[in-house]
Amino acid sequence: MQATARATEQAHPIRLYLVVWAWLFVLSACSYLIDYLHLQGGLRWSLILLFMIVKAGLIVAVFMHLAWERVALIYVILIPPAALLIFIAIMAIEADYTLATRVAQQVSGR
């Protein structure tokens, strides 16, 4: 019984974890570099979000072993946050349209 348990265990090389750790370090350094360079506006926030999403993806894929799981489990974990982000984007577009409509009505004096 122990032989079958050992045969089904996954052994990931330590090199993989070290490479991921190095990438996380580089991405964190890039995040701090954004503040150091005093980047402002949309560029700043898009870079911060990009680095954050890449770091989260690395952590989930390697350290939480999601890269070696079944596709169904991956869908269960990744689809709800993706759907939430899509709905937030739709609401932001709708809110921007509503604000523009209200401002246009106030300017026209209605």
Please indicate, yes or no, whether residues 31 and 74 belong to a single structural domain of this protein.
Answer: no
The pTM score is 0.63
Do 74 and 85 share a domain, yes or no? yes
Question: Which ranges in the chain belong to alpha helices (H)?
Answer: 2-8, 14-36, 41-58, 71-108
100 has pLDDT over 90: yes
**Containing structural domain, residue 61:** 1-68
- The number of domains in the chain is 2
Q: What DSSP state is assigned to residue 16?
A: H
- Degrees, nearest 5: CA angle 99-52-17: 165
pLDDT for the residue numbered 108: 85
Q: What is the mean pLDDT of the chain?
A: 87
Over residues 25-51, the pLDDT tens digits come to 999 999 999 999 999 999 999 999 999
Are 63 and 76 contained in the same domain? no
Q: pLDDT > 90: what percent of the chain?
A: 59
User: 18 with 55, same domain?
Assistant: yes
Same structural domain for residues 62 and 76?
no
Query: Rounded to an integer, what is the distance from CA 63 to the centroid of its chain?
Result: 15
- Is residue 64 located within the same domain as residue 108? no
Co-location of 54 and 81 in the same domain: no
- Whether the pLDDT of residue 20 is over 90: the answer is yes
